Amino acid sequence: MSNKKQPAKSFRRKSCVVATEIAISLMAAPLAIAQAPAEKVEKLEITGTRVPSPNVESVSPISVISAEDIKLEGVRNVENLLNNLPQVFADQGGNVSNGASGTATVNLRNLGADRTLVLVNGRRLPAGSPRGPAAADLNSIPASLIRRVEVLTGGASAVYGSDAVAGVVNFIMNDKFQGVQGEINYGFYNHEQGNSVSSIVASRAVGNPAQFRVPGDISRDGEESDYNITVGSNFADGRGNATVFLGYKKTRAVLQSERDYSACALGSNANGFVCAGSSTSFPGRFIGLTDGSIDHTVGAGGNPRPFTANDIYNYGPLNYYQRPSERYTGAAFAHYDVNASTRVYTELSMHDDQTVAQIAPSGLFGLITTVGFDNPLLSQGWRTLMGLNAPGDTADMFILRRNLEGGGRQDTIGHSSYRGVVGVKGDFAKHWNYDVFVQQGRVNYSEAYLNDFSITRSQRAMDVTTDANGNAVCRSVLDGSDPNCVPYNIWAPGGVTPAALAYLQTPGVQKGFTEQKVQGASLSADLGNYGIQMPAAKNGVAVAFGAERRVEKLELLTDSAFTTGDLAGQGGPTISLGGQYTVKDLFAEARVPLVEGKEFMDLLAINGSYRYSDYSTGQSADSYGIGIDWAPVKQARVRASYQQAVRAANVIELFQAQGVGLYDNDSDPCAGPTPARSFADCARTGVTSAQYGTIIDNPAGQYNALFGGNPNLKPETGKTSTLGLVLTPMKDMSVTVDYFNMKVEDVIGNLSPVTVLQQCLDTGAFCNLITRDQLGTLWATPQAQIVATNQNLSKYKTSGIDLTLDYNRKLPGYGGINLNFVATYLKEFKIEEFAGLGEYDCAGLYGPVCGTPLPEWRHKLRATWETPWNVDVSLTWRHIDSVLLDRTSSNPLLTGNVNPVDRELAAQNYIDLAASWAVTKNFTLRGGINNLTDRDPPLSAQVGAGFGNGNTYPQVYDALGRRVFMSVTAKF
């Protein structure tokens, strides 16, 4: 049993609070994010079905974000726009630096970005990066070109194919434009310092002012500018339209040093937060391997002095809190009606972006080297300390030294993409519709990793002797093995030369691409025109069926620095990757109205869908769905659905070469002079009696694991059940309540290294997956690792309730008030990492195992006053419930030591204010402030897992403070 909050009681309490707010306010917001009644048009196409038919509504919940909502939010990054939805959880984005892919992704229900299918105008986008994740890059979608976004949560693989396990995000673009429209957007952060942790930073600055600094009182930074133009025109007497879009966007960096709550990397103890750091420090930490009494750093005059806690390195300030980026986007759309029954259409989009992820400097991350008496760079104090008293004497040393002279490690990541679609659609035989298309998309990827150290060159640069003239020289120069070697003098202040840095700092280069080719054809018809309908129905049976062929291809090429694992800050090798697969699909769908227009049976209809997928990897899969739509009266509707969706392993999961990477954990329980676990426990993990009590732990909490692909993976299976109620008690009000229950089996992933280590210590399970190095560590050399390669091993289960309310009220003489409310209650998010291991529930938790916060309750309430004076004013309340550290759970798979300050991330309430003014029919001004009260994010020292950065989760919370935005739109 978990000791977290009781969800049922919490849900009832919060529902009452929200209901009271709504009743008191009696205001309204635009239809921003809601399941709205379908607009009555002749043929309506909605996300989640291929059956175009009059008056169809989805049997699965769909949230809609309009173009005007996007402008009111003042958000120029599409991922941040989606992250404000309660159904969406944090993933890759512009606030991720360590581990950034340079992409922006969407993660529905926290089931993973690769289980969320992203569409543009109903068709797929290619994977955004060959490095992973294998998910569409939202950076390729310009916010200004979006007409609306439809978010369907729940399996939809039977309709759209693989990957739609958690749901579908469909971007409907403004592809039929007339006129000329130009838009300028500008925004920045305005933050007032004053967090309580600033006193902790200030106290450390007294003893180490070079590495600890409290920023100024007010920060104005993170500027973002966006310029775009859209031009469109009808032609051929209105039978055709062509629309062209061009855009440019630039975002400036924000360093963690510019916020007082991220100016140091936080640790914690029983008394509260402390400034933590890394033993890979400046001017270094020197530990004797043969003489355990040596634990020193460089003191005045180049003589050693004992290393103290004040000497640890503050690795936080140089990390980017917001990455700088520059992006160009372009798109063109055209269609032409050849005749009344044939339309030719085309889409072309492209984007080019570059971003830089910066983290703390590289260095010697536990370099094991032999220091000889003949090293001329040593002072007499160092020789005496290491016992180098005569020629031939040597000492084995373990050296941790930060390359402060070389600056932060910078990962310059570039993506350029294109996507083209050509198709023909129309009608034939009076009652049949067809759509045939081909599309191709490609993303070219490049990466240049700068300022990292070469491990092999570091070894050579530390092995120093004298030449015939008495000059300090690398031994490799004398023996000819490396004539370019330059001595690395870290034994005295100011000893490092530019020549040594030029020799040691080695760039790492990767390049590659992802490519997607799709050919598809579909037919649909209302068979009622042939008399095929149920006796009690007014409309006939509607059907759709078709075929699709898709090729997914990926290639990643790495240079020798990456391939050999020679870069000190990478944790191991990154090996080239290439592969492709083809999938052929057949699909069918039907909607059958059973009863219409009867008493207590205004509508009763069933939907069914099926897809068969055949993969070139030898796998095949079946997806299907069934839905029931019952409206006893026009004002009330019950909807229910069951979907079985599949996700086939992507190219990365199948073919990625196995290599060593990093994972986060608090500590190695078997490290240190007084290990937390007994020798018997530690021996199961590979610790010898000689190593026990002498193992050096990693102060940064980063350890090695072996990650990689598996060509024998089988498809995942997702099962989603929904039951919902749609009420329209009056003309201008709609309320929806939807229960969801989602299960994913045979989840493709890796067994958590944290779980492997814990289970080995506790039960003796998985011990064969653990390898310690010659020092007994789990991190100091690439030989130390925990095996975590891809397998079909896990199960996910999540359930909860989605709520929406939309209400409009006219105010005679004063315009109108609109209210929009959207919320999600998360009942459970259970994970079973391995069959028989047992499951744990992460709902309401965050931390080393559960990762990114999973609040039980999130909502967004917006009220907008549409005045009769061409001015609209909007006020939004965003709420994120509190979450507990996963170690507070009584579940043995989660429980652990908890420092009080990390126990809970407090609930957050954000107020956003926005306004728009239609100055003339051609000019509109907009502006606003998000996080109006400049609320600081909740802090924790336990944010390493998931997408933590800067002592919080910046993809979840408003990490940079108050954001001011403004825009001007001119349309002719």
Whole-number pLDDT of residue 170: 94
Q: Is the pLDDT of residue 11 over 50?
A: no
Whole-number pLDDT of residue 161: 85
Radius of gyration of the chain (CA): 30
Q: Which residue from 209, 133, 114, 15 is spatially nearest to 821, judged by alpha carbons?
A: 15
Question: Residue 83 belongs to what H/E stretch?
Answer: helix 78-83
CB–CB of 846/856 below 8 Å?
A: no
**Long-range CB pairs of 138-141, under 8 A, 24+ apart, other chains included:** 138/77, 138/78, 138/79, 138/82, 138/103, 138/104, 138/105, 138/106, 139/78, 139/103, 139/104, 139/327, 139/351, 139/353, 139/415, 140/329, 140/349, 140/351, 140/415, 140/417, 140/419, 140/443, 141/78, 141/171
Distance between CA atoms of residues 595 and 53, nearest Å: 16
Whole-number pLDDT of residue 945: 62
Q: Which residue from 753, 775, 755 is spatially nearest to 686, judged by alpha carbons?
A: 775
Mean pLDDT over residues 849-873, rounded?
96
CB–CB of 687/719 below 8 Å?
A: no
Instruction: Please report which confidence band the pLDDT of residue 52 belongs to, taking 50, 70 and 90 as the band edges.
Output: low
Instruction: Please report which confidence band the pLDDT of residue 650 belongs to, taking 50, 70 and 90 as the band edges.
Output: confident
Distance between CA atoms of residues 620 and 612, nearest Å: 7
Whole-number pLDDT of residue 210: 86
Query: Lowest-confidence range among 98-102, 238-242, 585-589?
Result: 98-102
Mean pLDDT over residues 547-559, rounded?
96
CB–CB of 607/591 below 8 Å?
A: yes
The residue whose two tokens read 């089996």 is 745
301 vs 938: which has the higher pLDDT:
938
Whole-number pLDDT of residue 42: 41
Mean pLDDT over residues 633-637, rounded?
94
**Long-range CB pairs of 482-487, under 8 A, 24+ apart, other chains included:** 482/457, 485/457, 485/460, 485/461, 486/461, 487/377, 487/461
Q: Using the 8-state DSSP alphabet, how is residue 281 labeled?
A: B
| Amino acid making up residue 182 | G
Q: Is the pLDDT of residue 750 over 90?
A: no
Q: Is the pLDDT of residue 8 over 50?
A: no
Q: Map residue 787 onto helix, strand or coil.
A: strand
CB–CB of 828/843 below 8 Å?
A: yes
Whole-number pLDDT of residue 45: 62
Whole-number pLDDT of residue 300: 85
pLDDT digits (tens, 9 = 90+) for 865-883: 999 999 999 999 999 999 9
Mean pLDDT over residues 711-734, rounded?
93
478 vs 155: which has the higher pLDDT:
478
Q: Which residue from 942, 787, 949, 719 is spatially nearest to 850, judged by alpha carbons?
A: 942
- CA angle 42/45/50 to nearest 5° reads 120
- Work out the widest C-alpha separation in the chain, in whole angstroms: 106
Q: Is the pLDDT of residue 627 over 90?
A: yes
- CATH superfamily membership of 33-278+313-362+403-454+505-648+715-752+788-971: TonB-dependent receptor, beta-barrel domain (2.40.170.20)
Instruction: Please report which confidence band the pLDDT of residue 3 belongs to, taking 50, 70 and 90 as the band edges.
Output: very low
pLDDT digits (tens, 9 = 90+) for 299-311: 988 999 999 988 9
Q: Is the pLDDT of residue 428 over 80?
A: yes
Q: Is the pLDDT of residue 55 over 50?
A: no
Whole-number pLDDT of residue 360: 95
Q: Is the pLDDT of residue 25 over 60?
A: no
DSSP for 105-129 reads --EETTS-GGGEEEEETTEE--BS-
pLDDT digits (tens, 9 = 90+) for 496-532: 999 999 999 999 999 999 999 999 999 999 999 999 9
379 exposure class (CB count in 10 Å sphere: 0-12, 13-18, 19+): middle
36 vs 959: which has the higher pLDDT:
959
Q: How many CA atoms within 13 Å lie on the side-chain side of 761? A: 18
| Amino acid making up residue 519 | Q
Q: Is the pLDDT of residue 32 over 50?
A: no
Whole-number pLDDT of residue 591: 95
Whole-number pLDDT of residue 16: 40
Mean pLDDT over residues 618-645, rounded?
94
The alpha carbon dihedral of 746, 752, 753, 757 has a sign of negative
| Amino acid making up residue 845 | L
| Amino acid making up residue 199 | S
Q: Which residue from 471, 517, 473 is spatially nearest to 127, judged by alpha carbons?
A: 517
Mean pLDDT over residues 70-98, rounded?
89
718 exposure class (CB count in 10 Å sphere: 0-12, 13-18, 19+): buried
CB–CB of 867/873 below 8 Å?
A: yes
- CA angle 35/39/42 to nearest 5° reads 140
Distance between CA atoms of residues 616 and 711, nearest Å: 12
**Which sequence spans correspond to the domains of the chain?**
33-278+313-362+403-454+505-648+715-752+788-971, 649-714+753-787
CB–CB of 559/572 below 8 Å?
A: no
Whole-number pLDDT of residue 37: 37
Q: Would you state the structure tokens that stand for residue 504, as one six-digit string? A: 């040691």
Residue 510: CB atoms within 10 A of its CB come to 23
Q: Is the pLDDT of residue 971 over 50?
A: yes
Q: Is the pLDDT of residue 492 over 80?
A: yes
CB–CB of 278/403 below 8 Å?
A: no
pLDDT digits (tens, 9 = 90+) for 679-715: 999 999 999 999 999 998 887 678 999 888 888 899 9
Mean pLDDT over residues 631-645, rounded?
94
Q: Is the pLDDT of residue 834 over 60?
A: yes
Whole-number pLDDT of residue 1: 37
Question: Residue 291 belongs to what H/E stretch?
Answer: none
Query: Lowest-confidence range among 368-382, 415-429, 462-476, 561-575?
Result: 561-575
Instruction: Please report which confidence band the pLDDT of residue 573 belongs to, taking 50, 70 and 90 as the band edges.
Output: confident
Tell me the average pLDDT of the chain. 91
Whole-number pLDDT of residue 60: 79
Whole-number pLDDT of residue 59: 76
Q: Is the pLDDT of residue 102 over 60?
A: yes
pLDDT digits (tens, 9 = 90+) for 244-253: 999 999 999 9
Q: Which residue from 592, 536, 645 is spatially nearest to 164, judged by alpha carbons?
A: 645
Bridge partners of residue 765, in order along the sequence = none
| Contacts (Cβ under 8 Å, ≥6 apart) of 266 | 197, 273, 274, 275, 276, 939, 940, 941, 951
Between the CA of residue 569 and those of 5, 153, 365, 670, what are the distances in Å? 40, 39, 8, 24
Sheet holding 702-707, edge to edge: 659-664, 702-707, 785-787, 770-771
Mean pLDDT over residues 443-468, rounded?
97
